[in-house]
């Protein structure tokens, strides 16, 4: 019995250090890592495709007359990357950031305000849909006041 335990100790000591000193040194992120999503406002056309494919519905879309507001609630994000895959303009990318701890929930919200203009491809404008059409589209809600965010 003692010999088997000694063999186990020798095997463990030969392996050397197998843990990473993560909290004390920055961790190297591998290629293809899906971290926190980031939105490039200059590229975004406001199609809301990201809101329609998000499995946890963290992206809310609000329409006014000529503006569209997308609010990302990152505290619910599962980092699946579907929003980045479906974006036709590659405005959404999955960054390499993964440390999102904070004391304020507002730090985990991304608010994107867009002026609805013509599409870069077809030239048509994106008119806000009527209330009957909006009932069938997920992610669209009535706009809350900014102080609620």
Q: Do the domain assignments include residue 4?
A: no
* pLDDT (tens digit per residue) in 58-99: 999 988 767 889 999 999 999 999 999 999 889 999 999 888
DSSP symbol at 144: P
Range of the domain at 52: 33-148
37-73 core/surface letters (b: 16 or more CB in 10 A; e: else): bebeeeebbbbbbbbbbbeeebbbbbbeeeebbbbbb
Q: Do the domain assignments include residue 1?
A: no
Total domain count for the chain?
Answer: 1
Beta bridge partner(s), residue 10: none
Q: Do the domain assignments include residue 123?
A: yes
Q: Do the domain assignments include residue 120?
A: yes
CATH of the domain at 111: 3.30.70.3270
- In the numeric block, which tokens belong to residue 68? 């569209």
Q: Do the domain assignments include residue 130?
A: yes
pTM assigned to the model: 0.65
Q: Do the domain assignments include residue 82?
A: yes
Kindly report the average pLDDT of the chain as a whole number.
81
Q: Do the domain assignments include residue 94?
A: yes
């Amino acid at each position: 019995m003692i010999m088997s335990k000694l063999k186990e100790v020798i095997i463990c000591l030969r392996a050397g250090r197998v843990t990473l000193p993560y909290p004390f040194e920055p961790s190297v992120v591998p290629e293809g890592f899906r971290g926190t999503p980031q939105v490039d406002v200059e590229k975004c056309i406001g199609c809301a495709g990201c809101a329609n494919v998000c499995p946890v519905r963290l992206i809310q879309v609000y329409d006014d007359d000529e503006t569209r507001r997308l609010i990302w609630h990152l505290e619910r994000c599962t980092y699946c990357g579907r929003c980045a895959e479906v974006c036709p303009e590659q405005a959404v990318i999955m960054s390499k950031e993964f440390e999102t701890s904070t004391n304020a929930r507002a730090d985990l919200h991304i608010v994107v305000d867009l002026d609805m203009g013509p599409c870069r491809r077809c030239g048509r404008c994106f008119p806000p849909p009527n209330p009957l059409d909006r009932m069938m589209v997920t992610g669209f809600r009535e706009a809350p006041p900014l102080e609620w965010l």
